[in-house]
Structure formats: C-alpha cells, structure tokens
C-alpha cells in the first residue's frame, strides 16, 4: 500500500513538473513580446528578460502617429459581424440537418465534408472574381461573406454532432406542451448547445481577427485596412523598421481575444452544467 502511494505521489509530482515546464515554454514568447514592446529603441533583442529601461512610447506612437485605432475598429467590426452571422447560419443549418429528414440531406452533409478537404487558398482567384462581379471588392461586407461561407461547413458538422447527442425526448415533451419548432429550438436546444456555440463564436471571432491573406487580397483602400495589414506594412517599411512598435501593436491585438476567451469560458461551464441537469 505504501509503495503504491509513493508511486502515485511520484507520478503526480512528475505530472506537475511537466505542466510547469510546458507553461514556461508557452508563456516565454508572451513575456518576450510584452517586454519588447516596453523596450527602448526599435530592436526586439534584449540582453535580459526585463529591459533596464521601460517605456510606453511605442504605445503612444501607435495612437498618435498611426491609424491603429482605425485598423482596430475595422478588424473588430469584421470579427463581430462574422461571429454573429456564423452563429446564426451554423446553428440553424445544424439544427435542420440534425433533427429533420429531407430529400438531399446526405448530399448536403457530404458536400459540407468535401468542402473542408480543400485548402482555402485554392479558391482565392474565384473569390476575388465573384466579389468583383458583385461589387463587393474592397468592402468589409464582402470579406465577412467569404469568412462566413468558408467557416460554416466545419461549424455545421461540429454543432450537428453535438445536437445529435441531445435526447429527442426533450423536444417531444415540449411539443406535447404545445411548443412550436421555433420555441423548441430557442428554449430547449439552443441553451443546451451553449458550450459548442461558445466554441464556434470564439473561432469565428479569431479567424478574421488574425487573418492576413484575405484582407490583403480583397481590401485596397487605406481606410478599410485591418490590423494585420497595418502592422505588416509598418515593419515592411524599409525607411523605419519599427519592430518594437509592432510588438506593442501585437500586445494590444491579443487583449480582445483573451477577454473573449475568459468571457465565453464561463458560458461553457454554465452550459455543461445546464445540459447535465436537463439530461
């Protein structure tokens, strides 16, 4: 018995040691980029973990001498629009293919699966031509439509699989009480799907927030630029290599995603608890 306890304690200690080492490895780049944004000069290199002189001048430069606020607002608007539209499309489509049997259902599911097998850059030329013909080139709306269309297939499959695990007896009970399909969806299915919908919302927000290729391809006007384009052009300007200013912009870029993650994490836990009590 004592030997088993010792083995258990040793395994636990090794597990904690591994997790601590993994945390250090993951947090070191974060610490490095934060300290670089506070370092003087334009070089990212520092001889110590914490620079001898710390400054907020790079953050002030972003707001006073660049269009960072405009880039931030454009990116935030696109990300929120994509998140809202993706949630509506994914949830409605997943509920339809999960709960209803209709002609062509298997074809729809197979098509959604096949669409995920091809890399997105293969459709770049087609997307460009379609938006050009529709008059949506160099518009945030056109960019959002591309994001929604590209991210919905995998989201529908994920949410559909989650909905398949919800007992149909809950819907039957609600219908006996006189609830319509809409009421069942809004008041029974949707609350139980909060964990997976939170995941879809988070990924739908992150996709345009961190993307560079599509905005670079579709957006041309300076007032339509996103954060990725603005920061890229900042460091690619050969007349002034502002890497520390880029680091400051990257730190601010990570704040909304971090806040959204902690906000949605609470709903994931609440949704799991609600699903367990109702199941």
Contacting residues for 209 by C-beta, under 8 A, at least 6 apart: 75, 76, 79, 227, 253, 256, 257
Out of 3.40.50.720, 1.10.3720.10, 1.10.150.240, 2.60.120.380, the CATH code matching 66-278 is 1.10.3720.10
| Over residues 104-115, mean pLDDT | 80
Read off the pLDDT of residues 36-63 as tens digits, 9 standing for 90 and up.
Answer: 888 877 666 665 667 777 888 888 888 8
Q: Read out DSSP for 166-224?
A: S-HHHHHHHHHTT--HHHHIIIIIHHHTHHHHHHHHHHHHHHHHH--HHHHHH--SGGG
pLDDT at 279: 43
Percentage of the chain exceeding pLDDT 70: 90
Q: 41's torsion region: left (phi>0), alpha (psi -120 to 50) or beta?
A: left
pLDDT band at 20 (very low <50, low <70, confident <90, very high): very high
What's the CA gap between 146 and 58, in Å, rounded?
A: 34
Examine the pLDDT at 78 and tell me if it is beyond 80: yes
3-state secondary structure of 98: helix
What's the CA gap between 226 and 76, in Å, rounded?
A: 9
Q: What is the pTM of this model?
A: 0.82
Per domain, the residue ranges of the chain are 66-278
Structure-model confidence comparison of residues 6 and 232, the more confident one? 232
pLDDT band at 186 (very low <50, low <70, confident <90, very high): confident
What's the CA gap between 234 and 228, in Å, rounded?
A: 10
pLDDT band at 70 (very low <50, low <70, confident <90, very high): very high
Read off the pLDDT of residues 125-151 as tens digits, 9 standing for 90 and up.
Answer: 888 898 989 888 899 999 999 999 888
């Amino acid at each position: 018995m004592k030997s088993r306890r010792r083995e258990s304690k040793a395994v636990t200690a090794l597990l904690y040691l591994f997790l601590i080492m993994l945390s250090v490895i993951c947090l070191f780049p974060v610490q490095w980029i934060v300290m670089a944004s506070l370092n003087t000069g334009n070089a990212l290199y520092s001889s110590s973990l914490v620079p001898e002189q710390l400054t907020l001048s790079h953050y002030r430069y972003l707001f006073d001498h660049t269009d960072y606020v405009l880039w931030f607002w454009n990116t935030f608007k696109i990300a929120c629009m994509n998140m809202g539209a993706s949630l509506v499309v994914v949830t409605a489509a997943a509920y339809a293919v999960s709960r209803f049997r209709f002609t062509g259902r298997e074809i729809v599911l197979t098509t959604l699966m096949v669409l995920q097998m091809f890399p997105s850059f293969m459709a770049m030329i087609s997307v460009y031509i379609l938006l050009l013909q529709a008059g949506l080139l160099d518009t945030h709306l056109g960019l959002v439509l591309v994001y929604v269309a590209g991210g919905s297939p995998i989201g529908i499959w994920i949410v559909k699989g989650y909905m398949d695990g919800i007992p149909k007896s809950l819907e039957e009970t609600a219908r006996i009480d006189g609830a319509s399909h809409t009421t069942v969806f809004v008041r029974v299915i949707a609350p139980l799907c909060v964990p997976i919908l939170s995941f879809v919302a988070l990924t739908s927000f992150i996709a345009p927030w961190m993307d560079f290729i599509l905005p670079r391809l579709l957006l041309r006007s300076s007032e339509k630029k996103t954060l990725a384009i603005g920061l890229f052009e900042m460091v690619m300007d050969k007349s002034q290599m502002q890497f520390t200013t880029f680091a400051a912009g990257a730190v601010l870029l990570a704040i909304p995603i971090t806040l959204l993650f902690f906000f949605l994490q609470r709903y994931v836990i609440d949704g799991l608890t609600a699903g367990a009590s109702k199941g």
